[in-house]
Each structure stands twice: as structure tokens, then as C-alpha cells.
């Protein structure tokens, strides 16, 4: 018998009150300025710059193009060290730039790139490191920067999961050369579809290149001096962002309540590994991953997922499969070289987590998980 009287998906988009959005888009009908860096785009850019505590930000059509065009703007050539424990976008952005991904294993505790292995992967072809703040867990930014400085490498952070996260009081996008966000509908903060590139004042030329590349490579009315893309954020997406930004702190607080309900029930259960609470980090509670060690727990990740689905609760194997096992690469990479990532990918399940998920619902889901233990 189902314990829930409704279907619970792994994620659910945050949206403002309908009237608030209608009021926000009303003046677009007067201006007819619907895209091409309009008033809403400019307003959102200004507000996000303040909220994220960054020196510079540009808005794009999605998080993937933020990554892909950032690599193009940096004029990278050669090899890029990254992790396979990520969404397809990270690896695909590297490959679509004609770069070679070199896969580094992950830390078994917080699932971010294992900084202790990075130097052994550096060759004379290495040009950059692309670490991922997976599940909003923050990479060892200080160790990564030290390595990057030693070998003169660029650092591009995939911060798709880390909107609003702070480390030692600083916005996470203030680290590295570039940080890229996704504002997809499923993220903590969304613009329906959207993304952003954040960078420091020392990279002003990079900012000019990003602006040009997201607009077909156009530098002026009669000058097109780069092969760019159409990656501009439209005004309706920017308007959604302006509305959602007003409520994002409240949304994160609701996520926190649900996450804490999960943790109260699941922490200490034999065979279950939870996402760590990182020191010096102000989290955003973007995901609630659970690692099921089947020998101790007595049930596999797949069995838990099946049981939850029978009760109308939908989870996600996030991230499975690893990107270095994708059929698209025709066996080009050896996942055996990233054994920790491979191990975790076969055991991880992200439980439902979104602002409207009530703590008591999270506790019920956790109870079902515990019932799977043998």
C-alpha cells in the first residue's frame, strides 16, 4: 500500500506567485524588447552580481553554453583534467571544444575531484582543470589553485549545483578563473532555462570575448571576428530570474528543513553514507544523495529505487553512468582508472528534494528507505 497520496518526483521547479511574474513581464509588451540583452537581462545581471558576490557576470541561454563558450573564450588547446562523476554537459563542453578530457578520480567522502591525483595527470599538453562542485559540495579550491598556479593552468569551475553556496564567507564563484552556473528549471535558482559565467576583474578581456561569442561572434555592426553561437538569455527567462531571486533564500531554507528531516532519520543507519557537512561552507541543499553499501545495508540501490517507485516516489541515479563510459565515446576511456567514481556511481541514489517537499514527507520517504534494510 502506498504511504503517499500523491506522486513525488525527484525535483520540482520553484516558481514565484503567478501574478508577480505577470507584473514583471508586463512592460515587455510595451517595449517589445524580448531578447538581445534587454532591460530584464541587465537588471538580473546587476542583482545576481550582488547576490553571488562576484566582480563580473554574464548571462547565457543555459549552463552548458556557459561552460562551452568559456572554454572557447579562454582559447584552450590540448588536455583538460576533469571528473567523470558529473552531468554529461561538463565532459561534452570539453569535447565539443576539440579538447581531450583526462579523467581524475573523486574523493570518496564528498565526491569532488581528488586533488591528490591531479598532479600525476598533468602533461605538457594540459591547459586547464575543470572541477565540479558536485551536489553543491565545494571542491578543495585552495589546493586546486595552488596546482594551477604551479603549472600555469586555467581553472573553470562547473558550479551548476552550487548557486548561492559560500566558502569561508565568500561566494563560491569568486574562486578560479571562471565559474559557470546553470539556471535550469530544476536548480535551486532558475530562470526556466539559463546560465551564467562569473569572472574577476583581472579577466576583463575574457568577459568581452564571452559577450561576443554568445552573440554569433559579432564585435560591432559591421565586424564579425569570431565563430560564435546564439547563447543569449531572453527577457522572459530573465524576468523569471528576477522574481525567483526575491524568494531564493526562503526556498533554500525550506530545502534545508527537508534535508535535515532526511538526515535525522538516516544518519547512523548501517550501510548508508550521506552527503557530508563541509567545514566553512554555507550550503544550498541542492541535492540529497545517499550511497547504499549493499553488503552492510542488505539491499542494493536499485532495490531501494524500485521500492520507492512502488509508493509513487521517484529518485535518480545521479550520476550514473559515468561520463567516461558513455556510448558516445566508443570505449575511448577506461573507467577502471577512476575506481572510486565507478564504485559510487553504482551505489548512489538522490532522494526527492525541493522547496515544497515537507519535512514530514521527507521523513516518510526515509522511513521507506530504512524498511528496505535487511
- The Cβ-side half-sphere exposure at 138, using a 13 Å CA radius, reads 26
Query: How confident is residue 5, by pLDDT bands cut at 50, 70 and 90?
Result: confident
31 φ/ψ sector (left φ>0, alpha ψ -120 to 50, else beta): alpha
Residues 18-242, CATH architecture: 3-Layer(aba) Sandwich (3.40)
Dist. CA 258–CA 264, nearest whole Å:
10
| pLDDT, tens only, 163-181 | 999 999 999 999 999 999 9
Average pLDDT over residues 99-123: 98
Q: Is the pTM of this model over 0.95?
A: yes
What is the distance, to the nearest Å, from the Cα of residue 334 to the centroid of all Cα atoms in its chain?
A: 24
CA-wise closest residue to 110 among 139, 81, 80, 145: 139
For 58-93, the pLDDT digits (tens) are: 999 999 999 999 999 999 999 999 999 999 999 999
* pLDDT band, very low/low/confident/very high, at 3 (cuts 50, 70, 90): low
Angle CA 251–289–130, to nearest 5 = 90
pLDDT in tens, 292-305: 999 999 999 999 99
Q: Cell 521547479 maps to which residue? A: 13
Distance, in Å, from the CA atom of 273 to the CA atom of 297, rounded to the nearest integer, reads: 10
CB 65 within 8 Å of CB 229 = yes
* Contact between 81 and 161 (Cβ < 8 Å): no
For the chain, the residue count is 374
Phi/psi of residue 269, nearest 5 degrees: -75, 125
**Contact (Cβ atoms closer than 8 angstroms) between residue 235 and residue 28:** yes
Considering the domain 247-371, what is its CATH architecture? Alpha-Beta Complex (3.90)
- Within 8 A by CB and 6+ apart from 316, the residues are 10, 349, 350
Mind listing the pLDDT tens digit for each residue in 136-163? 999 999 999 999 999 999 999 999 999 9
- pLDDT at 1 > cutoff 90: no
* pLDDT at residue 18 tops 80: yes
Q: How many CB atoms lie within 10 A of CB 367?
A: 12
Q: What are the structural domain ranges in the chain?
A: 18-242, 247-371
Report how far apart the first and last C-alpha atoms of the chain are (Å, whole number). Answer: 20
Q: Distance (Å, rounded) from C-alpha 209 to C-alpha 75?
A: 10
Amino acid at each position: 500500500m502506498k504511504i503517499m497520496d500523491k506522486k513525488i518526483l525527484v525535483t520540482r521547479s520553484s516558481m514565484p506567485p503567478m501574478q508577480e511574474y505577470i507584473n514583471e513581464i508586463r512592460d515587455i509588451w510595451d517595449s517589445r524588447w524580448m531578447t538581445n540583452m534587454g532591460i530584464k537581462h541587465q537588471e538580473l545581471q546587476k542583482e545576481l552580481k550582488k547576490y553571488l558576490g562576484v566582480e563580473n557576470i554574464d548571462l547565457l541561454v543555459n549552463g552548458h553554453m556557459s561552460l562551452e563558450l568559456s572554454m572557447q573564450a579562454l582559447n584552450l588547446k590540448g588536455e583538460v583534467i576533469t571528473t567523470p562523476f558529473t552531468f554529461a554537459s561538463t565532459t561534452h563542453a570539453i569535447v565539443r571544444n576539440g579538447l581531450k578530457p583526462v579523467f581524475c578520480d573523486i574523493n570518496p567522502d564528498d565526491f569532488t575531484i581528488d586533488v591528490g591525483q591531479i598532479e600525476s595527470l598533468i602533461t605538457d599538453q594540459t591547459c586547464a582543470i575543470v572541477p565540479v562542485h558536485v551536489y553543491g559540495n565545494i571542491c578543495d579550491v585552495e589546493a586546486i589553485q595552488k596546482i594551477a598556479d604551479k603549472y600555469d593552468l586555467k581553472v573553470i569551475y562547473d558550479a551548476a549545483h552550487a548557486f548561492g553556496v559560500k566558502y569561508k564567507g565568500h561566494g563560491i564563484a569568486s574562486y578560479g578563473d571562471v565559474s559557470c552556473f546553470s539556471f535550469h528549471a530544476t536548480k535551486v535558482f532558475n530562470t526556466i532555462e539559463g546560465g551564467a559565467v562569473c569572472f574577476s576583474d583581472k579577466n576583463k578581456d575574457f568577459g568581452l570575448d564571452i559577450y561576443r561569442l554568445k552573440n554569433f561572434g559579432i564585435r560591432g555592426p559591421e565586424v564579425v571576428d569570431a565563430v560564435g553561437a546564439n547563447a543569449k538569455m531572453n527577457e522572459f527567462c530573465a524576468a523569471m530570474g528576477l522574481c525567483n531571486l526575491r524568494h531564493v533564500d526562503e526556498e533554500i531554507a525550506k530545502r534545508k528543513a527537508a534535508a535535515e528531516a532526511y538526515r535525522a532519520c538516516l544518519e547512523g543507519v548501517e550501510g548508508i553514507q550521506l552527503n557530508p557537512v563541509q567545514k566553512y561552507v554555507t550550503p544550498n541543499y541542492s541535492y540529497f544523495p545517499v550511497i547504499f553499501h549493499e553488503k552492510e545495508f542488505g539491499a542494493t540501490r536499485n532495490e531501494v529505487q524500485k521500492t520507492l517507485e512502488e509508493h509513487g516516489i521517484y529518485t535518480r541515479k545521479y550520476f550514473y553512468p559515468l561520463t567516461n563510459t558513455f556510448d558516445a565515446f566508443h570505449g575511448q576511456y577506461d573507467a577502471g582508472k577512476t575506481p572510486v567514481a565507478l564504485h559510487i556511481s553504482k551505489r548512489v541514489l538522490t532522494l526527492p528534494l525541493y522547496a515544497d517537499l515537507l519535512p514530514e514527507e521527507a521523513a516518510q520517504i526515509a522511513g521507506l528507505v530504512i524498511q528496505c534494510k535487511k
